[in-house]
Amino acid sequence: MISMIWAMDENWLIGKDNILPWHLPEDLAYFKRMTKEATVLMGDLTYDSLKGYYKTKPLPFKKIYVANIVDRAYPDATLVKDLIKFLENTKEDIMVIGGRTIYKLCLPYANRLYITHILNRYEGNVHFPYFPLSNYQLISKTMADQMIFAVYERPKL
């Protein structure tokens, strides 16, 4: 199953210069809980950003795939050069964690979406690519201070 997780504000903003434009500890805790020990897929900029936070500590994921069209060695991750082929052929449960381009390319393959809806507007320069959320069915929703944790699934045809 391909799942995706992200937080976005009311304008679908997800980032500002490769960092989160907000500091919401409850959202960070949710992200960590949902991705800890998961097999994750991310782009190279997201990888570099996370490495900046974790410095010398290992990233807290079971397995890491980094999508990049450029040949690059990752000491703790596997390079995915052909993302579409990877998505079409993987048998693993994958959690997509960013960034914008990777989300856009993975969305047609995603079965489940974990979206934190931030109930505010922030300044930034990276927005989630618009798609009709009505193509997915809401399966759970939890209200929190300034946010809604929602899980959506693509209906089976």
Contact 79, 66 (CB under 8 A): yes
Q: Give, in degrees to the nearest 5, the angle at Cα 147 between 156 and 102.
A: 55
- Secondary structure (3-state) at 136: coil
The domain spans of the chain are 2-153
**Tokens of residue 1, six digits:** 């199953």
**Cα–Cα distance between 112 and 24 in angstroms, integer?**
23
Averaged pLDDT, 1-6: 97
Q: What does the pLDDT look like over 49-58, one tens digit per residue?
A: 888 888 888 8
Q: What is the mean pLDDT of the chain?
A: 94
pTM (2 decimals)? 0.94
Q: What is the residue-wise DSSP string for 39-60?
A: EEEEEHHHHHHHHHHHTTSPPS
The pLDDT of residue 157 is above 80 = no
2-153 in CATH: which number?
Answer: 3.40.430.10
